[in-house]
Structure 1
Amino acid sequence: MSGGAISKIDGALIKHWLAKYGIVLAFVVLCVVLAFVSPYFFTTNNLLNVVRQTSINGILALGMTFVILMRGIDLSVGSVVACAAMVAASFATGAGNSSVLLPIVAGLGVGLILGSINGIMIARFAIPSFVMTLGMLSIARGLTYIYNDGMPISNLNPLYRFIGKGVVAGIPMPVILFLLVFLICWGVLRFTTFGRYVYAIGGNPKAARTSGIKVRTVTFTVYAISGLLAGLAGLILSGRTSAALPQAGVAYELDAIAAVVIGGTSLAGGVGSIVGTLFGALIIGVLNNGLDLLGVSSFYQQVVKGAIIILAVMIDRSRLMRE
C-alpha cells in the first residue's frame, strides 16, 4: 500500500474519530483550560453547582433534540417552563400541605398540554414550527402572567422544594432527574421503533411517509415530549428557587437550542444523538460557570454563546455541503 493511500486512510479515520468523539474532546479541553485559569473550577462544590445548573437546560435540550431531529424547532419551551411552574406552585403553597403529587401532575400536565397544542397545529394544520412555537411562546407567557395577576408564588412546601433543592446520596435531585430523563431519551432514540421513525422522518419526510410511517403522529409526539420535559424543568426551577416567577425561563429556549446544535444534531434533521446533546448542555453549563468565575459580564457571555452557536451551525452546513 502506497504512502498516499495510507495517508488517505489515516485522514478518514481522524475525521471519523473527530465526528464521533469531537464533542467529548471539546468538553475535556474546555474543562482543562478553566482548571488552569481558575483555581476554584475543579472544587467539589463548584462542580456540583455546574451539573445542578446544567440540569434544567439539559432536560429542555433533550426534548429539543427530538424536535430538531425532525427538522423542527420549539421556541416556546422557556415560556412553558414558567407557565408549568406557576400552575404547579399554586398547588404547593403552605407549610401544612404535605402532598407533592398534585403539583407535579399539574406542572407536567400543563407542559404536556401546551406541547401537544404545538404538535397538533404543526402536524395536522401544517403550520411551520417556527411560527407556531413563536406564537406559543407569547401565549404561554401571557397565560403565566394572567394566572396570578403577574405576581410570584412563594411559600412552597418542603416536599415540593425537594425537587429542586434535595440531595440523595450526595447527588442533587435535579441532576438525578436529568440523568434519568437522559437515559430514557437515549433508550427511546436508540432502541425503539419510534426512535427510528424520528430519524427517518428527519432524514427524508417524503420517503418516510411513502414507507408507511405515520408522520403526523410522530410529529405530534415529539412536540408533546418537548412540552412535557419543559413542564418537568419548570418543576425543578420553581423548587430550586422556592418560588414561581412569571418572568422565569426567558431565553431558555436559546440555551437549549445551543446545547443541541453544539452537540452535533443537524438543523437539517436526521443526524444527531442524545449523548451529543448531553455534552452540548455540559459545555454550555461549564462555559457559563467558567465565565462567571473569571468575572466576565453576562453581556459578553451572551456574545460568546451566540458566536459558538453560529460556529456550530457553520460546521454543520460545511459538512452537509461536502456530502
Structure 2
Amino acid sequence: MKTTVNRFWIGAQSRQGLWLLPLLIVAAMVLTLTVGTSQFLRPENLFNLVAQAMPLMITAIGQLFVVLVGGLDLSVGSVISFTTAVLAIGGPGYLLIPSAIALAALVGATNGLVITRFNVHPIIATLGMQYVLLGVTRILRPTSGGTVPEIVISSVSGNILGIPMPIFWGAAVIFIAWKLLYGSRFGLHLFAIGGGSAAGSEDAARNFGLAVKRNIVLAYVASSCFAALAGIFLAGRIVSGDPNVGLLFELDAITAVAIGGTQLSGGVGSLHGTVIGALVLALLANGMNLLNISPFIQTAIKGAILLLVVGTQTRKRTGL
C-alpha cells in the first residue's frame, strides 16, 4: 500500500508526472482565499497576481528543461539580475534586448559545456556561474537604477483590447515551451536522456544514436534564455536594473518544477505541471500578503514545501 501511494505521489505511472494533485491544491487555495479574504477576487489583485507569477513561471519553465535531463540550474537568478542590468545601461531596445538574450544563451552554453565536457556536477557548475554573474552584475549596476528602454516597459505594463500584457507574455512563453518540448525532436530527446539517466542507464540514449551532450547543452541554453525573458519582464515591471531582483529565483523555480510533479532525477515531468507549480507558489505569496503574514514566514514555508516534495523522491532518483 505504501509503495502504491508513493508511486502515485511521484507520478511513476506517467511520463508527465503527478500534476493532478497540485491542480487540486490550486483549487483549494483559490476557494480558501475567496472565502477568507475580501480582496482576493478584486480585479487589481488578480492583475497583480498574474504579474507577480509571470517571472517565476517563465523561470520555472526554463528550469524544467534541465531537470528533465537530470540536471539543475542554480544560475538562473543571477541571469535574471544580469539581464535587468544590461537593459538598464541605456540604449535602444532593439540592441539591448537581443544582446541580453544572446549573453544569456552564452551563459547557458558555458554551463552545459562545463557539465558535459569536464564532468562537473550541475550544482557546482551552475553555482560557480551564479557567483560569476553576480559579480559582473554588481559591476554593471551596483545599486538599482538606470534607464530601461520604453519598449520593454510598455510590453509589460500596457494592454491590448483590455487584456493585460502579462497574459500575452504567459501565452507566448507557454507556446514556445510547448513547441520545444512536445512539437520537436529536441523535447523527445530530453525525455529520453533523462529517462535513461533516472533508470541508471546513462548510456541508453547514446546507444540509440542521440547526441546526449549536445542536447544537454541546449537544455541549459534554454534555461538561461527563459531566465533572460523573466529578467526582461521584471525590468519592464520595476522600470530599472536591479542586482538583487533575481535573488532566490533559482530555488523558487526548482520548487515550482518539483511541485508540478517533475522528478528531479529526470525523464518525468510536464509543462502544465510546472505552470501549476508556479501558480501554487504565486497563490501562496499573494494569500499571505493579503493576510499580512511576514515574508520571512513565506520563505520558511517555501523551503518546507521543497523539502517535502523532494523527500518523496528517493536519493537514487534525485541524484544528489
One fold, TM greater than 0.5? yes
Q: Which amino acid aligns with 2:134?
A: R
Q: Which amino acid aligns with 1:65?
A: L
Give the conservation status (yes or no) of the 8 Å contact 1:68–1:267.
yes
Unpaired segments ≥5 residues, structure 2: 197-201
- 1:95 counterpart residue number: none
Q: Deviations over 1:188-221 (max 9, x none)?
A: 2123211111011101132001111110000000
Unpaired segments ≥5 residues, structure 1: 1-7, 93-98
Q: Deviations over 1:41-70 (max 9, x none)?
A: 122211111111110011000000011111
- Give 1:174 shift: 3.1
Does 173-182 or 151-160 show the bigger shift? 151-160
Higher helix share: 1
Cα distance, 1:133–1:110 mapped onto 2, change above 3 Å: same
- 1:189 counterpart residue number: 181
Listed as ranges, the matches of 1:240-319 within 5 Å are: 240-317=237-314
**Rg larger for:** 1
- 1:63 counterpart residue number: 62
Q: Deviations over 1:25-46 (max 9, x none)?
A: 1111111111111111122211
Q: Secondary structure at the match of 2:242?
A: coil
- 2:130 counterpart residue number: 137
Cα distance, 1:20–1:62 mapped onto 2, change above 3 Å: closer
- 1:177 counterpart residue number: 169
Q: Secondary structure at the match of 1:74?
A: coil
Listed as ranges, the matches of 1:1-323 within 5 Å are: 19=18, 21-92=20-91, 99-148=92-141, 150-204=142-196, 205-317=202-314
- Give 1:172 shift: 2.8
Q: Within 2, Cα distance between the matches of 1:141 and 1:164? A: 25
Q: Deviations over 1:228-279 (max 9, x none)?
A: 1111111111111010012221111111111100001001111000000000
Does 20-29 or 203-212 show the bigger shift? 20-29
Higher relative contact order (CA 8 A, sep 6+): 2
- Give 1:20 shift: 5.0
- Give 1:162 shift: 1.4
Q: Within 1, Cα distance between the matches of 2:76 and 2:289? A: 25
Q: Within 2, Cα distance between the matches of 1:91 and 1:286? A: 35
Q: Which amino acid aligns with 1:43?
A: R
Q: Secondary structure at the match of 2:245?
A: coil
Q: Which amino acid aligns with 2:262?
A: T
Cα distance, 1:141–1:210 mapped onto 2, change above 3 Å: same
Q: Deviations over 1:102-160 (max 9, x none)?
A: 12112212211111111111122221110000001100000001124x14332334323
- 2:199 counterpart residue number: none
Give the conservation status (yes or no) of the 8 Å contact 1:83–1:110.
no
Give the conservation status (yes or no) of the 8 Å contact 2:19–2:260.
no
Does 170-179 or 195-204 show the bigger shift? 170-179
Q: Within 2, Cα distance between the matches of 1:85 and 1:258? A: 23
Cα distance, 1:225–1:240 mapped onto 2, change above 3 Å: same
Q: Secondary structure at the match of 1:90?
A: coil
Aligned-pair Cα RMSD in Å: 2.3
Number of positions where the alignment pairs a residue of Structure 1 with one of Structure 2:
302
- Give 1:292 shift: 0.4
Q: Within 2, Cα distance between the matches of 1:87 and 1:183? A: 26
Does 298-307 or 15-24 show the bigger shift? 15-24
Q: Within 1, Cα distance between the matches of 2:155 and 2:77? A: 19
Q: Deviations over 1:142-185 (max 9, x none)?
A: 0001124x143323343231133222233332332222111221
Q: Within 2, Cα distance between the matches of 1:243 and 1:212? A: 47
Q: Within 1, Cα distance between the matches of 2:191 and 2:149? A: 42
State the TM-score, normalized to the length of structure 1: 0.88
Q: Within 2, Cα distance between the matches of 1:296 and 1:45? A: 20
Q: Within 2, Cα distance between the matches of 1:154 and 1:290? A: 32
Q: Within 1, Cα distance between the matches of 2:156 and 2:19? A: 33
Percent identity, aligned pairs only, is: 36
